Amino acid sequence: MSRFLMILVAAFSLAGCGNVGSGSTDLVNQVAAGNATCLVVDLDANTVRAEVSLTAALALSGIRDSKLVLVRIPAGSVAGGSGPGVRWGLPDEVAGAKGSAQVFVSVFEITRGQWRRLAGSQPWATLPADLVGSGDSLPACGISLDAANAAVNAVAARIPGRLSLPTSEQWEYLARGGSTARYPWGDSNDPSVAGLYAVTADTVTALSGPQRTGSLAQNAFGLYDVAGNAWELTSDGTIHGGSWLDGLPMARSANRFSLDQASAHALVGVRFLYRPTSP
C-alpha cells in the first residue's frame, strides 16, 4: 500500500522535562525508567520524542495530521468478555483476563491525514460519502488487515521502534481502561451519559458519517473514541468498539466481530501501538 520510495534514518529527539538526550537507546532507557508519559511521532520529520504529560502533547500543532500522539499504558490485566447470560452477550465474548504488557497507544483513531503519511493511500476516497464523510481529522476508514500490516511494515524503514495493531485481548484491555464495566465509561446506557464519550446512532441524532477524532471525553487510559465513531481493527482480524452507525450494544468493550484479512469495510479504522526499541 505504501508509495514511499526512500528509506530515511531518523534520530530521536526527546523533550518534556528538559533535554533528556537523543537516540533510540536513550528513549528506550527513558521509557524503562518511567520518565516518558507519552510519545510524539512526527510523521513528516520521522522523529520520536518523549513528552512529560499528555496535556502538553495534545497542545502541540498537527496532532491529527502530521504528528501521532501515543500515551503510555501500564502493564496489567482486567476481567473481560461476557458471553451468553449477560445482557447482549454473544458466544464469542469469552470471559477471562484481558491484558497487555506496557505499550504506548495512539490516543486517537488514526486520522486520514496520518494514514496518508503512514501508508500513502486513501482507501476512503472511493467509498460512499454518506458513510465516510470528509475531512483529514476524521478516522481513516476502509482499511483492511492486509493494508494495516503493509503500512506498519513500510513505516518501519522510516521510524525507529515498532508500530503494530493491538491484539484482540489488548484492545479490550485498552478500551476498558482498568474497568470491568460494560462500556469504557461504566454500565450506563443513558444517551446523556454515553454521549459524553461515544459517537453512536444512540447518542448523536441526525448524524451522517464519523466525527473528528477526539471530539468527546477520553477513557481512564487517556484514549478517545474507543467506543463509537469507527470500528477498530486488531491483529487477529477482529473489529471492536462499534461505529457512528451502530447502537450502543455494538460499542460494548467485550463485543467483537471477525473479518477476513482482505476485507476493507467502510466503517472500519485502526489504532496503533508503539514500542521503542534499541538499534
C-alpha cell recorded at residue 95 = 470471559
Strand partners, 183: 186
The pLDDT score that the predictor gives to residue 224 is 98
Between the CA of residue 99 and those of 73, 77, 221, what are the distances in Å? 11, 4, 13
Mean pLDDT per 10-residue section of the chain, whose length is 279 residues: 29 31 59 74 94 92 97 79 59 64 93 97 94 96 97 91 93 92 93 96 87 97 97 96 95 93 95 82
In a domain, residue 17? The reply is no
* Separation between Cα atoms, residue 226 and residue 222, nearest integer Å: 10
The pLDDT score that the predictor gives to residue 206 is 76
179 dihedral zone (left: phi>0; alpha: psi -120 to 50; beta): beta
In a domain, residue 1? The reply is no
Number of domains in the chain: 1
The pLDDT score that the predictor gives to residue 217 is 97
In a domain, residue 163? The reply is yes
How far, in whole angstroms, is CA 158 from its chain's centroid? 20
Nearest to 226 by CA among 194, 201, 204: 194
CB 58 within 8 A of CB 40: no
* Torsion angle of C-alpha atoms 71, 108, 68, 32, degrees rounded to 10: 10
In a domain, residue 3? The reply is no
In a domain, residue 110? The reply is yes
CATH number at residue 43: 3.90.1580.10
Nearest to 39 by CA among 88, 90, 102: 102
Tell me the HSE value of 134 on the side-chain side, using a 13 A CA sphere: 5
In a domain, residue 13? The reply is no
Q: Residue 192: is it exposed, middle or buried by C-beta count within 10 angstroms (0-12/13-18/19+)?
A: exposed
User: What does the angle CA 112 – CA 148 – CA 5 come to, to the nearest 5 degrees?
Assistant: 80
CB atoms within 10 A of CB 158: 17
* Separation between Cα atoms, residue 87 and residue 152, nearest integer Å: 37
The pLDDT score that the predictor gives to residue 90 is 61
- What is the span of the domain harbouring residue 247? 24-275
In a domain, residue 12? The reply is no
* Separation between Cα atoms, residue 263 and residue 4, nearest integer Å: 23
CB 143 within 8 A of CB 119: no
